[in-house]
Amino acid sequence: MDALEKQGLILKETRKSRLSNSLVIVVAADSRLRILSARDLAGKQVERIALADPQSVPAGIYSRKYLEKLKLWPAVARKVVPTENVRAALLLVARGEAPLGIVYLTDAAAEPGVRIVGTFPPDSHPPIVYPMALTRAAGPEAPAFAAYLRGPAARALFEGQGFSVLDRAR
């Protein structure tokens, strides 16, 4: 969205932060691994951690920043199995190929093969925000669609998928 705004392709006044997400720690649904806090990630019971690439993928970067804040990153970094994206990290855990992973709540909620065992505090990393805006090239039906996305029906759908809804219907 920032890139589109810099290029002048959106109607700036319509830009709103609509949704937010959380980072969670997941294990396979049938795992016996006990994780009580993020500090356990540095322990001996965790050998590998599936994580979207902490050098280039937002979820990995956010995770790394939180673990650095806790001074755990040096111990955790050598355990990281970097993946192309969150879904790939999630799949490694669901298949039992990695004992644990850090993914978005919305992705974890959609995968029956994993169980959430921890949540990163919202203030532990940069905000995970999904904005929406009308483009300059939007057709006449776009404002009505944007209004729908801000309304109660879409809110229920978003919340049902694990998103936090940030702005209220107007």
Q: Is 82 a member of any domain? A: yes
Q: Is 90 a member of any domain? A: yes
Query: For the chain, which residues score pLDDT lower than 70?
Result: 168-170
Q: Is 157 a member of any domain? A: no
- Output the pLDDT for position 170: 44
Q: Is 87 a member of any domain? A: yes
Q: Is 104 a member of any domain? A: yes
Count of domains for the chain:
1
Q: Is 66 a member of any domain? A: yes
CATH number of domain containing 37: 3.40.190.10
- Determine the Cα–Cα distance for residues 150 and 170; give it in Å rounded to an integer: 7
pLDDT in tens, 133-158: 999 999 999 999 999 999 999 999 99
Q: Is 26 a member of any domain? A: yes
- Output the pLDDT for position 164: 94
Which structural domain range is residue 37 located in? Answer: 20-124
Q: Is 140 a member of any domain? A: no
- Output the pLDDT for position 142: 97
- Output the pLDDT for position 168: 57
Predicted structure pTM score: 0.88
